[in-house]
Amino acid sequence: MSERMGFFTDTSVCIGCKACEVACKEWNGVPDDGFVFRATSYDNTGSLGASTWRHVAFIETPDSWLMASDVCKHCTHAACLDVCPTGALFRTEFDTVVVQADVCNGCGYCVPACPYGVIDRREDDGRAWKCTMCYDRQLGGLEPACAKACPTDSIQFGPLDELLERADARLADLHANGRTEARLYGEDPGDGVGGDGAFFLLMAEPEVYGLPPDPVVTTRDLPSMWGWAAVAALTMAGATAWTRFGGR
C-alpha cells in the first residue's frame, strides 16, 4: 500500500466561499442538492449526503460566524466497509475508503453504520455515494479537486503524517496567540474509529459543528456478538439433541 493520504481542514481560515463544493461537484459529476432554502442558515446545502460530498457549514453564534468544510472522514476502522455485503466499499492503496457505484446494490447497510452520518443513497437509483478523496485524481498524481480549489488553504491534502505535524504546529500557534478554544478533531488514533484520514482544526466544541464528540465504530461489538450467537446456537443444538435422544 502507498503512503496514507488525507485531508487536514483548518476551519480557522475558512471563508465560506464554497469553492470546494463547486469543484467537487464539477470534477465528480455530482448532481445538485435541490436548491432548497432551509431557513436555518445562509447555507443552502444543509449537510453531507449522496449529492453533497463536501459541505461548507455556516454556523451563526452570538459572537461570530463559524465556517467549516465537512467531508467523509475515511476512518481507520470503517464500519461501512464491515457491513457492505457486495464489496462495493473498498480501501484503496492510499488508505482511503471508496464506493464502487457499479457494484453497489443499494442495500443501504452502510448508511446507519457510519458514525458520522456521511453516506447516503440517491433517490433516483438507490445506490450509496460519498467522497472518494478524488481517487481518480490521486491515481494521476493530482490533489483532490476541493483542496486544489480552496483559496485560503483551509483544505490541505497530503501524506497524513505530514498533515498531522502541520496541524500540531498550527494549533500551537493559535494557542500562543490566545485562541485557546482551538482544538483538533479526528486526529487521535486512540479514538473510537482509530483516527480519521480526514481531520479538522475546530474553533469550538465538535457539537457546535454537528460532529459527534466521541465517534465510535458502530461494528466494534460484532465479533463478541457473533461469538455469543455461536455459543447460543451450540447450546440450543445440544439441548435439542438431549431432548430427542438423551432420555432414551
> Does one domain contain both 136 and 233?
no
Q: pLDDT by residue (tens digit) across 18-47?
A: 999 999 999 999 998 777 777 777 787 889
> Does one domain contain both 232 and 193?
no
Query: Hey, CA dihedral for 124, 129, 131, 132, is it positive or negative?
Result: negative
> Does one domain contain both 160 and 245?
no
> Does one domain contain both 122 and 17?
yes
Domain that holds residue 111: 5-217
> Does one domain contain both 164 and 236?
no
> Does one domain contain both 238 and 136?
no
CA distances from 98 to 5, 45, 50, 109 (A): 13, 22, 13, 15
Q: Mean of the per-residue pLDDT values for the chain?
A: 90
At residue 49, does pLDDT exceed 70?
yes
> Does one domain contain both 224 and 141?
no
The domain tally of the chain equals: 2
> Does one domain contain both 144 and 171?
yes
* Confidence at residue 43, expressed as pLDDT on a 0 to 100 scale: 81
* Confidence at residue 239, expressed as pLDDT on a 0 to 100 scale: 57
* Confidence at residue 225, expressed as pLDDT on a 0 to 100 scale: 41
At residue 235, does pLDDT exceed 70?
no
> Does one domain contain both 226 and 212?
no
Question: Of 30, 7, 191, 148, which Cα lies nearest the Cα of 99?
Answer: 30
